[in-house]
Amino acid sequence: MYEPTPFKPRARSGTENSYRRVFVRDLILNCAIGIHAHEQNAPQRVRINLELIVCEDERNLLDRIENVVDYETIVDGVRAITEESHINLVETLAERIAGLCLIDSRVARVWVSVEKLDIYAEAQSVGVEIERARSDI
């Protein structure tokens, strides 16, 4: 399975941001997705991987969930997207997930992988990977 390019935060020099990486690995959900007639009638399994590069701010985390990008909120949002309505393309699903992740202004960059798992007997999966940055929106 493809892994995103390792993120290496730079040393902090007063005016530069530091970053944290938030990830969700191998989230498998049922999704109504696909352009073919047989894909219109039943949901199929998709595997979703996410990596968010999150700007850290100066405040202390205080061990409180509201001071971080919460992966539970992200997973719940991804579930809602996959349950919302039929989606034709894995590219569309990936873009919607990236947009969801970038709603939080602390997220500087997001990497999204969407794979359909049950398409070809000879392949583990087929899909798409995208990377989007806050400057892209």
Give me the pLDDT at residue 3, please.
Answer: 58
Q: Domain of 111: which CATH number?
A: 3.30.1130.10
Domain for residue 122, yes or no?
yes
The confidence score (pLDDT) of residue 77 equals: 98
Q: Which domain, by its residues, includes 29?
A: 18-136
Q: Is 39 a member of any domain?
A: yes
Phi, psi of 61 (to 5 degrees): -65, -25
Residues in the chain with pLDDT values less than 70: 1-16, 58-59, 137
Domain total of the chain: 1
* pLDDT for the residue 12: 42
30: left (phi over 0), alpha (psi -120 to 50) or beta: beta
pTM attached to this predicted model:
0.85
Does residue 1 form part of some domain? no
At residue 52, the pLDDT reads 97
Q: Check: CB of residue 101 under 8 Å from CB of residue 110.
A: yes
- Owner of token pair 């020099």: 13
Beta bridge partners of 24: 50
Q: What is the pLDDT of residue 45?
A: 97
- Model pLDDT, residue 41: 87
Residue 3 belongs to some domain of the structure:
no
With respect to residue 4, please indicate whether it lies within any of the assigned structural domains. no
| Residue 108 CB partners (closer than 8 Å, separation 6+) | 17, 19, 53, 54, 55, 133, 134
- In this structure, the dihedral spanned by the alpha carbons of residues 5, 75, 28 and 48, taken in order and rounded to 10 degrees, is -30
Nearest alpha carbon to residue 94 among 35, 41, 136, 47? 47
Provide the pLDDT for residue 50: 98
Q: Is residue 95 part of a domain?
A: yes
Give a yes or no: residue 10 inside a domain.
Answer: no
pLDDT at 66 (0 to 100): 85
